[in-house]
């Protein structure tokens, strides 16, 4: 089998094909069109990949639409109970990510902690339980927090200078411009140098810079920018809905590509700090179904304490239940399922999914900054 997508053209040889009937797996010799089956022994295939059996000429690049993976909206720090279990924890998280692309794992450069992100509190709780039950790992998990983003409000062009790290001295001089993107554009903008997929930040270099730098130097320049964009100026959340372009690079002869990359990272961080940074919060699409007698209480709670906005009310023909469609900030929806049960005597149903990022209200942002910096 040839795997396309995340598999990157990998060739795999499954050890068996299986059909699943409840908890029973039955081995089969072939899977004709329309068959739903499982393949055992695939090591580099992830959710969303396209598998081809001996692809013919011209079909090797065939890719079926993958799974749309929304960004994680909750995260927490995890660490193994013992240092000797860390490699096993890393392997377990890698296996979970192959199975569930909505799980995000990264190391926080500022704290050194291993951060795990997911689509909700329950999602992360189940993931931690699976680490214990399936991998026999005991891990300590930090407080679950909302995965905010950061953006900028104004366009800034500035020139930054950085030590070249050469014995002879000298400076790397970088001119960079950052500007905000429309939040809708930032959700799906593709990086100039990366694959054509959703990216929160556009990174670019002018034609003059591309002509002046070697391919390796250009790669380090863009990598430095991407690294800096992963940590915003306010609270260290990733940058979102912004474009950064380097228009000029001047460096002494002999400057290493790594030094150019480091200078680009510093230049981007300084430009973002000067561009009026703001916090963004995930906004959820909310659907509540409730009996008509509870509708007033549900609407009052959504538009009041939950900071939501109601978009539509749907009334079925029998008029026994009302459907409320709304959008609300995720931070305000923590604990809403329990509150809804109390408001409706357990007669309502709730579903939520990620919608978009929106700017945090100034008063709420100020409170978050004080809270997360440890002042309150």
Q: Which residues contact 47 (CB under 8 A, 6 or more apart)?
A: 67, 98, 99, 100, 101
Residue 189 is predicted with a pLDDT of: 36
**Weakest mean pLDDT among 129-138, 194-203, 258-267:** 194-203
275-287 pLDDT, tens digit each: 999 999 999 999 9
Residue 319 is predicted with a pLDDT of: 65
95-138 pLDDT, tens digit each: 898 888 889 998 887 778 899 999 888 899 999 999 999 999 99
Residue 134 is predicted with a pLDDT of: 93
Q: Is the pLDDT of residue 190 over 70?
A: no
Residue 41 is predicted with a pLDDT of: 86
Q: Is the pLDDT of residue 4 over 90?
A: no
Confidence of residue 374 (pLDDT cuts 50, 70, 90): confident
Average pLDDT over residues 6-12: 67
Average pLDDT over residues 313-334: 86
Average pLDDT over residues 5-11: 63
**What secondary structure does DSSP assign to 88-140, as a single string?**
HHHHHHHHHHHH-TT-EEEE-TTT--EEEEESSHHHHHHHHHHHHHHS---EE
Q: Is the pLDDT of residue 88 over 60?
A: yes
26-37 pLDDT, tens digit each: 999 888 888 888
pTM over 0.75: yes
Average pLDDT over residues 345-355: 90
Residue 233 is predicted with a pLDDT of: 92
Q: Is the pLDDT of residue 69 over 50?
A: yes
Residue 7 is predicted with a pLDDT of: 54
Residue 99 is predicted with a pLDDT of: 84
Q: Is the pLDDT of residue 269 over 60?
A: yes
Terminal C-alpha separation, the chain: 56
Average pLDDT over residues 68-92: 90
Which residue, 163, 248, 256, is CA-closest to 216?
256
Q: How far apart are CA 193 and CA 360, in angstroms?
A: 30
Q: Is the pLDDT of residue 197 over 70?
A: no
Higher pLDDT, 168 or 96: 96
Q: Is the pLDDT of residue 3 over 70?
A: no
Q: Which helix (H) or strand (E) holds 2?
A: strand 2-4
Which residue, 142, 362, 349, 187, is CA-closest to 282?
187
Average pLDDT over residues 16-27: 88
């Amino acid at each position: 089998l040839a795997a396309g997508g995340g598999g990157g053209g990998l060739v795999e040889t499954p050890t068996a094909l299986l059909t699943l009937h409840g908890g029973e797996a039955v081995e089969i010799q072939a899977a004709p069109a329309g068959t739903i089956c499982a393949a055992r022994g695939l090591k580099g295939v992830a959710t969303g990949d396209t598998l081809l059996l001996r692809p013919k000429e011209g079909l090797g690049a065939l890719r079926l639409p993958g799974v749309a993976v929304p960004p994680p909206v909750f995260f927490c720090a995890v660490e193994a109970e013992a240092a000797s279990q860390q490699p096993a924890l890393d392997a377990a998280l890698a296996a979970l990510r192959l199975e569930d692309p909505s799980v995000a794992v990264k190391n926080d450069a500022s704290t050194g902690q291993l951060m795990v992100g997911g689509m909700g509190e329950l999602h992360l709780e189940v993931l931690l339980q699976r680490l214990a039950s399936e991998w026999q790992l005991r891990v300590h998990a930090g407080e679950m927090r909302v995965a905010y983003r950061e953006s900028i409000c104004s366009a800034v062009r500035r020139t930054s200078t950085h030590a070249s790290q050469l014995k002879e001295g000298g400076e790397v001089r970088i001119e960079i411009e950052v500007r905000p993107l429309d939040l809708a554009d930032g959700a799906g903008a593709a990086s100039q140098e990366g694959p054509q997929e959703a990216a929160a930040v556009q990174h670019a270099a002018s034609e003059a810079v591309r002509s002046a730098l070697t391919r390796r130097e250009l790669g380090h320049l863009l990598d430095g920018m991407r690294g800096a964009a992963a940590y915003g100026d306010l609270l260290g959340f990733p940058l979102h809905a912004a474009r950064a372009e380097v228009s000029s690079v001047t460096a002494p002869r002999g400057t290493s590509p790594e030094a150019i990359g480091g200078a680009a990272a510093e230049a981007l961080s300084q430009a973002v700090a000067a561009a009026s940074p703001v916090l963004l919060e995930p906004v959820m699409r909310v659907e509540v179904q409730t009996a008509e007698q509870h509708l007033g209480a549900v609407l009052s709670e959504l538009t009041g304490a939950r900071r939501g906005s109601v978009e539509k009310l749907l009334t079925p023909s029998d008029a026994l239940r009302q459907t409320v469609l709304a959008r609300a900030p995720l931070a305000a929806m923590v604990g809403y399922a329990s509150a809804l049960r109390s408001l409706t005597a357990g007669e309502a149903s709730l579903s939520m999914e990620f919608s978009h990022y929106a700017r945090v209200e100034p008063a709420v942002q100020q409170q978050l900054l004080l809270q997360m910096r440890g002042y309150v």
